[in-house]
A = this chain, B = another copy of it.
């Protein structure tokens, strides 16, 4: 109906015959304002339907009370859970969270950094693209002393606060677990080595093999984006010639699930003929039959840590240079049916078939 409904503090001031400064201070509970005027002001603010203009305040204070969050995608279980936690936690502290997706495209990530800077976010948390090796597009934030935290997918030689899972240990434990369950020809389907996660998991994998005197074979490791399509392609290759492996360590659960379903189709029995382990403990891993052994990365804990790190840095005087530090989130192997010990069912007597 009316044209300009937007009430401002000057409207309140006029109405009350006060100065805008007094109104501003009253609304912000400044100690120098008497309780009586504070009440008057707040009542009038309510009556007029006043809502503060965050942009004006932000401009003046040079802070937006908004925090940027860049993740590959929010439709994947792990980043979604982390984002949820971060968002809820920061909200409690009066911050907005601008959740952005890079869609695993470096180009988009760079653009995101640019526009997020433009909105003058107070801090930034990022889990990078699979392909980000040069992180200089985040320099603006460092240069201007804007708190910057990386998590999960983190840079290697870039001085920032880092919060990551223990991927080396994860890779090691998975591999050792498979060995202990009797595997000695273990395929590893890894993500691209441009990403720290996979570098470390591969290292764990290799070390576990070495420790148990199993020779590492280059042909038994795949580097690829961990999509369903790529997993299928890998299956085609793996099962195109004998001997089949007796264990597969997939670097995510989508891949593990795809392999499992493939095995069903070609009548390779899991876990009797082949043991499968995934990574991330996606809800689907627990539900499929046989349920899939996976590695829990405790996304809620990671999210909590990221939020705390941000809040911490936000307290500190902006002048203090960003310090490098690495925090490790533990992992836990969740053993399930897909890698269970070879207890042959009484039904059939076929115990060892492939070898």
- Give min CB distance, A286 to chain B, whole Å: 9
Is residue A118 within 8 Å, beta carbon to beta carbon, of the partner chain? yes
Whether the Cβ atoms of A52 and B118 lie closer than 8 Å is: yes
How many angstroms from the CA of A99 to the CA of B66 in the assembled complex? 12
Chain B residues, CB < 8 A from A18: none
Chain B residues, CB < 8 A from A289: 288-289
Select one of B52, B54, B74, B288 contacting A83, CB under 8 A: B74
How many angstroms from the CA of A302 to the CA of B100 in the assembled complex? 20
- Give min CB distance, A136 to chain B, whole Å: 13
Q: Scan A27-54; emit 1 where CB is below 8 A from any B CB, else 0.
A: 0000000000000000000000101111
Chain B residues, CB < 8 A from A99: 74, 87, 97, 99
Is residue A103 within 8 Å, beta carbon to beta carbon, of the partner chain? yes
Whether the Cβ atoms of A54 and B118 lie closer than 8 Å is: yes
Q: How many copies does the complex hold?
A: 2
Whether the Cβ atoms of B84 and A117 lie closer than 8 Å is: no
- Give min CB distance, A283 to chain B, whole Å: 6
Whether the Cβ atoms of A119 and B98 lie closer than 8 Å is: no
Is residue A56 within 8 Å, beta carbon to beta carbon, of the partner chain? yes
Number of interface residues of A (CB under 8 A): 46
Whether the Cβ atoms of B55 and A64 lie closer than 8 Å is: yes
Chain B residues, CB < 8 A from A5: 143-144
Is residue A73 within 8 Å, beta carbon to beta carbon, of the partner chain? yes
Is residue A325 within 8 Å, beta carbon to beta carbon, of the partner chain? no
Chain B residues, CB < 8 A from A77: 75
Select one of B58, B75, B144 contacting A6, CB under 8 A: B144
- Give min CB distance, A246 to chain B, whole Å: 23
Closest B residue to A264 by beta carbon equals B289
- Give min CB distance, A227 to chain B, whole Å: 14
Whether the Cβ atoms of B96 and A119 lie closer than 8 Å is: yes
Whether the Cβ atoms of B103 and A88 lie closer than 8 Å is: yes
With A98-B96, A98-B98, A287-B284 in contact, do A120 and B75 touch (Cβ < 8 Å)?
no
How many angstroms from the CA of A117 to the CA of B96 in the assembled complex? 12
Whether the Cβ atoms of A119 and B55 lie closer than 8 Å is: yes
Is residue A114 within 8 Å, beta carbon to beta carbon, of the partner chain? yes
Q: Scan A98-126; emit 1 where CB is below 8 A from any B CB, else 0.
A: 11110100000000001101111000000
Is residue A133 within 8 Å, beta carbon to beta carbon, of the partner chain? no
- Nearest first, the 10 A-B pairs at minimum CB distance are A289-B289, A55-B58, A54-B119, A55-B59, A54-B118, A99-B99, A75-B84, A55-B55, A75-B80, A287-B288
